Amino acid sequence: MTNSFGLNLPDYPWDRLTDFRVRAAEHPGGVCDLSIGTPVDPTPEVIRRALADAGDAHGYPTTTGTAELREAIAWWYETWHSVTLDPVAEILPTVGSKELVAWLPTLLGLRQRGLSVACPAAAYPTYEMGATIAGVDCMRIDAAEVAAGASLEGIGLLWINTPSNPTGEVLDADTLAEVVRRAREAGVVLASDECYGLLNWESDEPAPSVLSAAGETHQGVLSVYSMSKQSNLAGYRAAFVAGDAELIADLTRSRKHAGMIVPFPIQAAMVAGLRDTDHVREQKEIYRRRRELLRSGLEDFGFRIDHSTAGLYLWSTADENCWDSLADLAELGIIAGPGEFYGEAADDHVRVALTASDERIEAAADRLRAAAD
């Protein structure tokens, strides 16, 4: 008898890189895996110490997070974005940002309302997967199209991603403000995924947050942020969402019922990481050096780097299908991410991550330059 239960979701896309990984592993200098944006540098000591000190966590944590955590998140928005938030009503910690991205369409009840999700043409796959899990359609609409007047009819949740994964494009304040206006006019929830926001390469200032563009009220607007990138905390699953108080209240109720709670030691570690800005700036400079080295090698090899003004990736193209580019890189022992994973609009690009050790980044850059000679 066939088992008809389950969501019957497609295989995880990264499994399709197996053959390229095998070929890259044959390189005598070893593999330079630049495919996935997982941090490789140590978690800062100030965060690890806070985690250890909070290890006696015998009671249940709260879904809303501790007062100290909510206040630290509010302080973080004020410090980096000059945004004032009510720490009681407008902030909610989440178990990583991917969890929220995947479940937000379900928690907003889009299927019951007969509404769809929209996300950028080249986008992190989980926006579309969240729609699939919720049983609703996902449309591809870029923020620039929304700002220019694209219809939002039938859409309940509009995702924007700035800085973008995979492209590294940053939406300017004027575009954000117009997208906010259009979403409010259409009665659409606007959620902005901003987890690369502090890794802005063209300015010492962060990339603009949607909450900065929202005006005096945060009505209909959510900002989603993860500490994975700024603080090497991918393994902690430490993130938060902030914005519209009514939406935050509804999400809090739903998450209480579902048991979506950040563990207490992680909450304590988040407070320490959010309050300490020195390690964030130091990590950014480490990535900046890796970025400059890797960019030079990719351009010498013949790639063009598009956008990539922020974030942890170089959005690279040789004006050919991404799988051909991946094959060329695998011959050099280098693994990158295929643009096809991010939508049809991206199938002529590869995403090259900066998240490898200095030694592996140097090795990759040396191989690219040598192959170009």
Query: Region 82-93: what's the mean pLDDT?
Result: 98
Q: What are the tens digits of pLDDT across the range 127-157?
A: 999 999 999 999 999 999 999 999 999 999 9
Per-residue model confidence (pLDDT) at position 3? 61
pLDDT over 60 at 208, yes or no: yes
What pLDDT does 16 receive? 84
Question: Could you give the domains of the chain?
Answer: 13-42+279-372 (3.90.1150.10), 45-275 (3.40.640.10)
Does residue 11 have a pLDDT over 90? no
Q: What is the mean pLDDT of residues 231-258?
A: 97
- The mean pLDDT value for 342-363 works out to 96
Q: 7 pLDDT band (50/70/90 cuts)?
A: confident
Hey, what are 6's tokens?
């389950």
Given a cut of 60, whether residue 2 has pLDDT beyond it is: no
- The rounded percent of the chain whose pLDDT value lies above 90 is 93
Mean pLDDT of 225-247: 98
Q: Which residue has the tokens 């890259």?
A: 24
- Supply angle C-alpha 258, 126, 304, rounded to 5: 155
Block residue for tokens 């995947």: 102
Can you give 216-249 as a three-state secondary structure string? CCCCCEEEEEECHHHHCCHHHCEEEEEECHHHHH
Question: Is residue 117 a contact partner of residue 130, using CB atoms and an 8 Å limit?
Answer: yes
Mean pLDDT of the chain: 96
- Residues 329-368 as b/e (b if ≥16 CB within 10 A, e otherwise) read bbebbbbbbbbbbbbebbebbbbbbbbbeeebbbbbbebb
How far is Cα 328 from Cα 350, in angstroms, rounded to an integer? Answer: 11
Residue 321 confidence (pLDDT) above 90: yes
Average pLDDT value for residue range 38-64: 97
